[in-house]
Chain A
Amino acid sequence: MGIRSVNAVSSNAAAEAPPVSKPASGGLPVRLRNVAKAYRVGPRWLPAVQEVDIDIPPGEFVSIVGPSGCGKSTLLKIVAGLIPPTGGEVEVDGRKVTGPTIEAGVVFQRDLLLEWRTALENVLLQAEIRRQPVRNHEQHARELLASVALEGFEDAMPHQLSGGMRQRVAICRALLHDPPLLLMDEPFGAVDAITRDQLNLDLRNLCNRLGSTVLFITHSITEAVFLSDRVVVMTPRPAVVASITEIDLPATRPLSIREEPAFGAYVREIRETFEKLGVLGGSEPPAVREMRAASGRDSGEQGTERGAPWRRSGKKRS
């Protein structure tokens, strides 16, 4: 197991954490068991996610990478408790998820800022919805905005901010309640490369400091390796887990770590998994079916891509 951020908290937080942060809240363990999701499209069911088993210990940063449209976002929304799985179950902190996982801080693909609120008010929405006195959180909200270089923009309206700035406001909103679990769905997808690097740095540091468990969805292999303790690779839709890679790099990671051989090796390993899946390079996905067959216990009996495996779990439910 790699150096986990939880270990780093004690050394890091004392030394360099600004007076900003409250003491590290620690993370929540997350367990996905046989999670499956299918959508009804016309007369038939299209499986989006199948048989996903992931175990995330407290404080671990796990990234899920996969080709676009493979059901990564679906998986995250299931963990967030926003959509119910059609098979299997998710446990957060040992409890089965049946409604919204309100302990979590969720960052969506789009920033989803409320256009009629200033940046600060958007961050404070988190406190308002939780019916906590806004006054108690205002200082923290200002500090969070400052920590992502948005000092001076507290009173700006969303339409006055650039895409990257808006997304940083959204991240601050997700962090206001010091969530022990962070769920992030391609949060930096719409952000330019330089801003993305900065946000990656900020996020990694923040997680070192807070010790939160993070489930991070991305389609950038480099980003996943840079941020994570473990990287989960998903196959194209219907998605199953293709591989899980432990990232054994130091907890504190400067951007330059990306030029180091160990980093490159991880990236190569994950890229090769994608090539095997036929997502990169080749045209036919030769290994996809095998992997799906191997990961599901008895799925894929017909060789048809859709239908069969999920229909089984549907029966199980009824």
Chain B
Amino acid sequence: MAPVRQEAQLGTVTPWAPVAGHVDAASPSWLERLRVGRWAPPLVVLILALVLWEVVVDLTNTPSYLIAKPTEMFSATANNFHLLMTQMWPTLYEVVLGFACSVAIALPIAIFIVYSRAAGRAVYPLVVASQVVPKVAIAPVFVILLGTGLFPKLILAFLIAFFPIVINTVTGLQGVDPEMLEMVRSMGAGKTRAFAKVRFPAALPSIFAGLKIAMTLAVVGAVVAEFVGASKGLGYSLLVAQGNVDTALVYADLLVMTVMGLVLYAILEIVEAILLRGRRASAAEASSHYSM
């Protein structure tokens, strides 16, 4: 049998003809990245837990000043809706502003730590070690120093949200494949272009892991600062309700805080889903360093 002569021509032999539908099927849109299917099971469990809570409180006849039932919590929320909303705005403001400040300061510091060997050696160990300081316990210090206005809350929210962003950003930026950087260097990229085209985008999943932790912690920071000294806000409202033995309202305050935190977290998730669209899913959750 004569050997088959393959004519050497570019692109004429195509054993890799595009498979119809292959690309579309595997490509996750940003909506798919949110994975609605993942939400349903925990939602069911949550509802079951609420029902169990209601039933147990009912059966044990626990007085309502000791513990509120979910129905009481929801009705207290509805009855005091206007009050809760007016108390929510200051807290929301503190959280968002504190978070924004921590992002604005933590990202440049992380970049500085990665690019400057001196900073990496001198500053980074301190940043890591300072995580041991119970930041919530610093709240009184700031109230003494700065009074009961917006500022101490801002600072505490900032301080508590700051570290996870720095640490995750540093980890992400340092984790970039060195050969990727070599590759763009061979094309003539300097540090700036290598950062913009490779290093930063490669670190994005890790940065978002840090941002999400930071967002939940910023809520903690703002509320704790309000506990220590405030004249408005959800933390303040909660303390007042506690003083009045209005247990249902305490729970309603908690519910509003939780929902507020969830919404802020969801906004971040959506931004992340949009920015990371097309990437392999689950890479985002791979590295997250929890810190408090």
Contact = CB atoms under 8 A, between A and B. Distances in A.
Interface of A: 16, 18, 77, 80-82, 100-102, 104, 106, 108, 110, 112, 114-116, 118, 125-126, 128-130, 146-153, 155-157, 159-160, 164-165, 194-195, 198, 201-202, 204-206, 252-256, 259
A246 B197 CA distance: 42
B193 A129 contact: yes
Interface residues of B, number: 40
Given A108-B179, A114-B198, A153-B23, A125 B9 contact: no
A254 B7 contact: yes
B280 to A, nearest CB: 5
B207 to A, nearest CB: 13
B132 interface: no
Contacts of A110: 179
A205 B10 CA distance: 7
Contacts of B150: none
B11 interface: yes
20 contacts: A18-B11, A82-B185, A101-B186, A102-B188, A110-B179, A112-B177, A114-B197, A116-B201, A116-B276, A125-B187, A129-B184, A129-B197, A130-B187, A148-B10, A149-B11, A149-B13, A149-B14, A149-B15, A160-B26, A160-B27
B82 interface: no
B39 interface: no
Contacts of A151: 18
Contacts of A259: 3
Nearest to A129: B187
Nearest to B180: A112
Contacts of A252: 8
A160 B23 contact: yes
A16 B8 CA distance: 11
A112 B6 contact: no
Interface string B182-200: 1111111100010001100
Nearest to B28: A157
Given A106-B183, A125-B184, A202 B10 contact: yes
| Most chain A CB neighbours (cut-off 10 Å) among B11, B187, B189, B197 | B187
Contacts of A147: 10-11
A114 B186 contact: no
Contact of A254 (B8, B10, B283): B8
Contacts of B22: 160
Contacts, number: 115
A153 B9 contact: no
Given A125-B184, A125-B197, A129-B197, A157 B278 contact: yes
| Most chain B CB neighbours (cut-off 10 Å) among A80, A115, A155, A164 | A115
Contacts of A254: 5-8
Contacts of A198: 13, 15
Contacts of A164: 16
A9 B202 CA distance: 41
Interface in B29-57: none
Contacts of B278: 116, 118, 157
| Most chain A CB neighbours (cut-off 10 Å) among B193, B201, B276, B278 | B278
Contacts of A253: 8
B27 A205 contact: no
Contact of B18 (A81, A152, A205): A152
Given A108-B179, A256-B3, A82 B10 contact: no
A159 B143 CA distance: 52
A112 B27 contact: no
Contacts of A160: 22-23, 26-27
B6 A129 contact: no
| Most chain B CB neighbours (cut-off 10 Å) among A80, A148, A159, A205 | A159
Contacts of B5: 254, 256
A150 B204 CA distance: 29
A90 to B, nearest CB: 14
B232 interface: no
Contact of A157 (B27, B182, B202): B27
A153 B279 contact: no
A100 B8 contact: no
B17 interface: yes
B197 A128 contact: yes
Contacts of B177: 112
B172 to A, nearest CB: 13
B179 A112 contact: yes
A106 B186 contact: yes
Nearest to B22: A160
A18 B189 CA distance: 31
A207 B179 CA distance: 26
B180 A201 contact: no
A101 B186 CA distance: 6
Given A125-B197, A149-B15, A159-B280, A201 B6 contact: yes
A129 B279 contact: no
A121 B93 CA distance: 40
Contacts of B9: 16, 205
Given A157-B278, A254-B5, A100 B185 contact: yes
A194 B16 CA distance: 11
Given A129-B188, A156-B23, A114 B18 contact: no
